[in-house]
Amino acid sequence: MAKKTIMLVCSAGMSTSLLVTKMEKAAKERGMEADIFAVSASEADQQLETKAVDVLLLGPQVRFMKAQFEQKLAAKAIPLDVIDMRHYGMMDGDKVLDQALGLIK
């Protein structure tokens, strides 16, 4: 499996940093190469310009931005979803990694 680049977006990029760590651990346990990183909503555009992203997940606190991101990502064909609130609340890196991988075609 080729290396996957997973971008998480939240309001400040802080709360998702713990989730990134847990997702990286889950990927490592699966023997999977992944570049998983979190950015604030204000930094997202810049990252999308400079990085080849395979999937973008929004934190539940910025779910209201989904339509806005759908428009930005349509031309790039990057799948997008909102992180399941239960998995986010439990900081379940394994389940969120599954969610991200399920979106990549």
State the first-to-last Cα distance of the chain, in angstroms, to the nearest integer: 12
Q: How many CB atoms lie within 10 A of CB 67?
A: 7
Burial 14-32 (b: 16+ CB within 10 A, else e): ebbeebbebbbebbeeeee
pLDDT digits (tens, 9 = 90+) for 16-45: 889 999 999 999 999 999 999 999 999 999
Rounded distance, CA 103 to CA 82, Å?
A: 11
Number of domains in the chain: 1
Catalytic residues: 10
**Residue 105 pLDDT > 80:** no
Dihedral angle computed from the Cα positions of residues 4, 98, 85 and 58, in that order, rounded to the nearest 10 degrees: 20
pLDDT digits (tens, 9 = 90+) for 67-103: 999 999 998 999 999 999 999 999 999 999 999 999 9
pTM for the whole thing?
A: 0.94
- Domain membership of residue 84 as a residue range: 4-103
CATH of the domain at 76: 3.40.50.2300
